[in-house]
């Protein structure tokens, strides 16, 4: 009599979801602040890079305001990849190693296949998001394309309340999807050299395991970025690197690696 098929045990470490509390995002911010001031020179380099990105946004807003929201969605994708060098700094600090600018700038070169796949997925989402933004403008904007001097007044004109509601709904869906796919996937690729699909699935597991805490984390990221961009975007020189370091600690705080595959837990478990 044939023996029943028994699948082999999984190979390699298992990603477990750590228990999170409402104070976890604030703890990640504090850990990120400490990393920021331990190597301020590296942080300054990335801060200036984020600042230059903000200036590009300002120029688009000035001369082509209808494309500003689409550019913002693109920057939301570029930002995490720029922050990968900051993840490397925090990773080395956590391991007791000495970070340097060279290792920070070149940390991606050992992970090109996984990063390329993840970039491709996020670029497709960004293009869809940008196209959806233009469609919402074309269909729901009732008072004509605003001028550079009165864009905010035109957008929030009572006649355009339907546009605002639809745009926020569409943008919220795309923002939530991008956030869910990338919240821990990029630092996980850097840390474990895993493939993009496993990293994305783990990122979604994190979100579904603790949706409230991750929603708070996403809201804090958004508030800090928006606050740093006003006025003149100078605040992003400090806030950008700070949030990059904090995002590494968010990954470490959300995911624990267990070498024994027999003790793997299911989605949503915090044991």
Q: Which residue has the tokens 């705080």?
A: 253
Q: Which residue has the tokens 């403008």?
A: 137
pLDDT of residue 61: 72
pLDDT of residue 270: 43
Q: Which residue has the tokens 């890079």?
A: 49
pLDDT of residue 251: 95
Instruction: Confirm if 239 and 34 have CB atoms less than 8 A apart.
Output: no
Q: What is d(CA 74, CA 198) in angstroms, rounded to the nearest whole number?
A: 24
pLDDT of residue 6: 64
pLDDT of residue 162: 79
Q: What is d(CA 201, CA 184) in angstroms, rounded to the nearest whole number?
A: 10
Write the Ramachandran bin of 114: left for phi over 0, alpha for psi from -120 to 50, otherwise beta: alpha
Torsions phi, psi for 120 (to 5 deg): -60, -45
CA distances to 31, 174, 176, 207, 212 from 180, in Å? 22, 10, 6, 6, 13
The model carries a pTM of: 0.79
pLDDT of residue 204: 93
Give me the tens of pLDDT residue by residue for the chain, a chain 271 residues long.
566 766 555 556 788 889 999 999 999 999 999 999 999 999 999 999 889 888 887 787 777 766 666 676 666 666 666 788 999 999 999 999 999 998 898 887 788 888 878 878 887 887 787 788 778 877 776 655 555 445 556 666 677 777 778 888 888 888 889 889 989 999 999 998 888 899 999 999 999 999 999 999 999 999 998 888 777 888 999 999 999 999 999 999 999 988 654 444 443 444 4
pLDDT of residue 108: 79
């Amino acid at each position: 009599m044939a023996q029943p098929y028994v699948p082999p045990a999984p190979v390699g470490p298992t990603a477990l979801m750590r228990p999170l509390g409402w104070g976890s995002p604030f703890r990640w911010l504090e850990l990120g602040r400490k990393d920021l001031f331990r190597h301020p020179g590296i942080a300054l380099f990335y801060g200036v890079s984020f600042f230059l990105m903000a200036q590009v946004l300002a120029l688009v807003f000035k001369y082509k305001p209808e494309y500003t929201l689409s550019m913002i969605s693109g920057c939301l994708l570029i930002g995490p990849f720029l922050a990968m060098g900051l993840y490397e700094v925090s990773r080395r600090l956590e391991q007791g190693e000495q970070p340097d600018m060279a290792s920070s700038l070149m940390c991606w070169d050992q992970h090109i296949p996984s990063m390329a796949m993840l970039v491709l997925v996020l670029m497709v989402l960004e293009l869809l998001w940008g196209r959806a933004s233009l469609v919402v403008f074309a269909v729901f904007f009732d008072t004509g394309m605003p001028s550079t001097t009165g864009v905010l007044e035109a957008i929030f004109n009572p006649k355009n309340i339907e546009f605002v509601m639809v745009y926020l709904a569409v943008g919220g869906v795309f923002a939530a999807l991008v956030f869910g796919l990338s919240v821990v996937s990029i630092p996980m690729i850097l840390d474990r050299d895993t493939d993009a699909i496993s990293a994305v699935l783990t990122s979604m597991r994190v979100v579904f395991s603790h949706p409230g805490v991750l929603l708070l984390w996403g809201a804090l990221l958004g508030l800090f970025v928006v606050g740093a961009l006003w006025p003149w975007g100078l605040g992003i020189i400090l806030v950008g690197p700070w949030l990059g370091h904090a995002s590494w600690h968010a990954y470490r705080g959300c995911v624990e690696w267990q070498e024994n595959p027999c003790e793997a837990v299911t989605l949503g478990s915090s044991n």
